[in-house]
Structures are given as C-alpha cells and as structure tokens.
C-alpha cells in the first residue's frame, strides 16, 4: 500500500520595502549631469577618439524598453550625486546587525507573523539572493541568531533564481523530514552592484527583501496557505549575464571595482534566449503534473522586463494575459533580481479561491529557471 504524503505548504510570506525610492526622472537627471561633466572634462580625448563620449539616458526609453518607472533603494544618499554615482551605505561594527541581515529580518518578521509562527517554531533558515555582503559567517546564521531560531542556516546564491531554488530546497527538506519549518529569505541588496555610470544598465535594479515560511500541512496554522504541487529547476551556462566581482581581484591585481565587476548583460540575447526557455520549462512542468496551462489562474513571473513577461505569458496561454492573470510589479520595484516573482505573489493574490492554481517562476542569470506550481488551500 502506498503511503499518502502530507502536503507541503507555503504558510507565510512577507515583503519589506526600503524607505527610499528613486524615480526614472531623478535617476536620469543625475546620470545625465554625470555624463555631461564627463564629456566636458574629456572633451579633447573624445575629439581625438581616444575616449568614448558618454551617451545621455532618457526616462521615456527606460519605461518603454523595460516597464520600470521607479525603484526602491536601501540608501539614497550618494546614488544621485554626479560626483559619486553610487549609494553611500554607512559601515557598521561587527557587533551590530549587518545591513543585509537587517533587510532579511524585516521581511522575516512579516512572514513569521503571517504564518502564526514564533522563532522557536522554525528550525532552518535559508538566505538566498544574488549577492551576500560577505562570505562568512553566513547572513542566514546571523539572521537565525538575531531572531533566536535554533537549528541551522545557510546562504545560497543562484542570481535571479535564488528565491525559487531556495523554496525548492525548503520543500525538499520538509518533505524529507530534515526540517519541520523553513524560513526562506531573499534580501536583494542590488544597488551596490548596479553600475550607476552605465546608461545601458543604470536603471535596471532595485532593493527589497521577501521572506516565506514552508512547512507541512499538518503543522500549518496560517489563515492563508498554498500547497506546493511540484517544483522544477533548470540551469544552462551562459555569459550573457555576468559579474566578475569576487575575491580573486586581490590576487590578479585587477581593479576590484572595474567595469566588468558590475552587473553586465547582453540584454537583447537574454531576451531572445530566455523567453522560450521559460515558457517551455513551465509548460513541461505543468504537463508532468497533469495540468493544462489554461487551468492556471495566476502567473507570478520573474520581473526583469515587462516585454519579456508579456511574451512569456502569451506563449503560455496562446493569447495576451490580463494584468490580473500575470501581474507586473516592475513599474514600482524595477528588477529586484530573485525577489521579483515573490513580490508579485505577495502583492497579487486577490480573487483567488480555494483550489485555484498558480505558478511562481524565475528566469535569468546562469541561465537559471526555477518554478513552483501551487494550489490555494
């Protein structure tokens, strides 16, 4: 006789926004002032052809090409100063809570409260994001300590798919019985890695933190929970989205803050290659679960570019998706690396009824694609 497996559920979720934000207009005005200063300062070299002039940016281009109108930033000071062009994040003593742990804790408290859980109910913490502010001790262990959680914690980095891949790890851990309740947090502090002096990418990223509780249905006390019907991960190596930032700069004598150490992408190629991959990934996962795409009520997709989302949703449904079916949060949040699909999930669950199906899916750097099919309980 086969034993019936108890469902594994998402029982709590939290979203934390930094208090500062930057509109496209503010961003472009600062960048253009920087570019004009640069061009004036290097007028002779530009004339000779030994230095390239900095092209100007435009708020209209940004909105049209990406759907982004605004981004939250952990710290605003410095980011819009044409003489600096990077945020100032004040240093903290080792005895103080680190910046990224603070972001994580803010989102985690919301998720715990939504799951009707105390710290003592959690026995594993995963911090998963595109960059951690240091290698060790793990940010997850600092968060665990700050919240008073026993058990264990670890960090994992899978760029855009960090959040979905970590939810999959949590699902598997609860299923295997190696943890009872897992707190999964993505404190995406992207602004330090954004090249504020580069017209092609200065507008892309925003800062945010999301947190989720995963546990067995047996222990769930939440008013709103979602059964995880399945999860699927895929990776395929690509240099089209890359950052060479890392500790080897010290030994190879390269500039630790050189151009290649920031986020760099070939956006057009990413767009062309990733859209079909994501649509096929989700369709095959749903098929394996015996679900037709048309049965899915909500698509919480990765938030990198509005045109990408519209295209993927169209491939999935064979028609345009409504704003309700495939919500977009890019206008307010910009690309928040792995947090995007979970911001959409946090903000757009209205109208869903018990039994309704949804898909959370990330796609991007690696390349990496991670998806979870969930059903409202």
Question: Is the Cβ of residue 159 or residue 361 nearer to ligand CO8 in the bound state?
Answer: 159
Does 286 help bind ligand CO8 (rule: CB under 6 A)? no
CA dihedral 166, 170, 172, 174 (to 10 degrees): 180
Question: Is the Cβ of residue 159 or residue 179 nearer to ligand CO8 in the bound state?
Answer: 159
Shortest Cβ 95–ligand CO8 spacing (Å): 28
108 within 8 A of 14, measured Cβ to Cβ:
yes
Does 365 help bind ligand CO8 (rule: CB under 6 A)? yes
How would you class 262 by CB atoms within 10 Å of its CB: exposed for 0-12, middle for 13-18, buried for 19 or more?
buried
Shortest Cβ 8–ligand CO8 spacing (Å): 27
Write out the binding residues for ligand CO8, residues 188-217 only, by CB under 6 A. Answer: 190, 193-194, 199-200, 203, 205
340 within 8 A of 329, measured Cβ to Cβ:
yes
Shortest Cβ 240–ligand CO8 spacing (Å): 8
Other Cβ atoms closer than 10 A to 271: 16
Question: Is the Cβ of residue 11 or residue 57 nearer to ligand CO8 in the bound state?
Answer: 57
* Binder among 78, 82, 151, 267 for ligand CO8 (CB under 6 A): 267
Does 159 help bind ligand CO8 (rule: CB under 6 A)? yes
Write out the binding residues for ligand CO8, residues 70-129 only, by CB under 6 A. Answer: none
* Binder among 62, 179, 296, 369 for ligand CO8 (CB under 6 A): 62
Instruction: Please name the helix (run of DSSP H) or strand (run of DSSP E) that holds residue 265, with its range, or none.
Output: strand 264-265
Does 139 help bind ligand CO8 (rule: CB under 6 A)? no
Does 337 help bind ligand CO8 (rule: CB under 6 A)? yes
Respond yes or no: is residue 117 known to be catalytic.
Answer: no
Cα→Cα distances 314→68, 122, 281, 321, Å: 20, 39, 14, 6
Shortest Cβ 94–ligand CO8 spacing (Å): 25
Shortest Cβ 78–ligand CO8 spacing (Å): 17
Cα–Cα distance for residue pair 325/330, rounded to 1 Å: 15
Binding-residue total with ligand CO8 (CB under 6 A): 30
Does 227 help bind ligand CO8 (rule: CB under 6 A)? no
Does 271 help bind ligand CO8 (rule: CB under 6 A)? yes
Does 308 help bind ligand CO8 (rule: CB under 6 A)? yes
Torsion sign over Cα 25, 31, 34, 38: negative
Q: Exactly one of 160, 220, 275, 361 is catalytic; which is it? A: 160
Inter-axis angle of helices 340-347 and 162-176, nearest 10: 70
Does 51 help bind ligand CO8 (rule: CB under 6 A)? no
Cα–Cα distance for residue pair 181/8, rounded to 1 Å: 10
Per the rule left: phi > 0, alpha: psi between -120 and 50, beta: everything else, 87 is beta
The separation between the first and the last C-alpha atoms of the chain, rounded to the nearest angstrom, is 26
86 within 8 A of 205, measured Cβ to Cβ:
no
* Binder among 130, 144, 168, 186 for ligand CO8 (CB under 6 A): 130
Query: How many angstroms from the chain centroid is the CA of residue 89?
Result: 20
Does 285 help bind ligand CO8 (rule: CB under 6 A)? no
Q: Please, how many CA atoms are within 13 Å of residue 279, restricted to the half-sphere of its CB?
A: 16
8-43 burial, b at 16+ Cβ within 10 Å, e below that, comes to: bbbbbbbbbbbebbbebeebbebbbebbeebbeebe
Does 368 help bind ligand CO8 (rule: CB under 6 A)? no
- Coil, strand, or helix at residue 246? coil
> Which residue's C-beta sits nearest to ligand CO8?
267
* Binder among 263, 300, 345, 367 for ligand CO8 (CB under 6 A): 263
Q: Which residues are catalytic?
A: 160
Instruction: Summarize as ranges the residues that interact with ligand CO8 (CB under 6 A).
Output: 57-58, 61-62, 65-66, 130, 159-160, 190, 193-194, 199-200, 203, 205, 241, 263, 265, 267-268, 270-271, 304-305, 308, 335, 337, 364-365
């Amino acid at each position: 006789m086969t034993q019936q497996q108890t469902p594994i559920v998402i029982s709590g979720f939290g979203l934390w926004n930094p208090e500062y934000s930057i509109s496209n207009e503010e961003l472009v005005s600062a960048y253009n002032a920087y570019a004009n200063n640069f061009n004036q300062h290097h007028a002779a070299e530009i004339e000779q052809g030994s230095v390239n002039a900095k092209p100007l940016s435009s708020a209209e281009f940004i909105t049209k090409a990406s759907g982004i109108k605004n981004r939250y930033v952990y710290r605003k000071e410095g980011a819009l100063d044409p003489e600096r062009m990077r945020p100032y994040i004040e240093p903290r003593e080792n005895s103080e809570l680190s910046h990224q742990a603070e972001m994580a804790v803010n989102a985690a408290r919301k998720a715990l409260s939504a799951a009707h859980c105390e710290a003592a109910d959690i026995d594993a913490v995963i911090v998963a994001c595109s960059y951690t502010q240091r290698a060790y001790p793990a940010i997850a262990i600092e968060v665990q300590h700050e919240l008073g959680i026993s058990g264990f914690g670890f960090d994992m980095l899978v760029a855009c798919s960090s959040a979905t891949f970590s939810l999959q790890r949590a699902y598997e851990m609860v299923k295997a019985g190696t943890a009872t309740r897992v707190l999964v947090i993505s404190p995406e502090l992207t602004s330090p890695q954004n090249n504020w002096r580069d017209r092609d990418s200065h507008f892309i990223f925003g800062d945010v933190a999301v947190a989720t509780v995963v546990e067995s249905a047996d222990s769930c006390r939440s008013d709103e929970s979602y059964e995880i019907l399945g999860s699927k991960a895929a990776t395929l190596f690509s240099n089209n989205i890359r950052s060479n930032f890392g500790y080897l700069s010290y030994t190879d004598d390269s500039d630790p803050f050189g151009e290649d150490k920031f986020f760099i992408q070939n956006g057009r190629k990413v767009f062309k290659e990733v859209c079909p991959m994501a649509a096929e990934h989700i369709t095959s996962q749903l098929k394996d679960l015996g679900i037709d795409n048309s049965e899915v009520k909500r698509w919480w997709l990765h938030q990198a570019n509005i045109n990408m989302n519209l295209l993927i949703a169209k491939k999935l449904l064979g028609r345009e998706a409504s704003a309700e079916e495939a919500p977009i949060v890019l206008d307010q949040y910009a690309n928040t690396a792995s947090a995007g699909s979970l911001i959409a999930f946090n903000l757009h669950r209205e109208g869903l009824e018990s039994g309704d199906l949804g898909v959370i899916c990330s796609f991007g750097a690696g390349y990496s694609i991670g998806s979870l099919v969930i059903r409202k309980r």
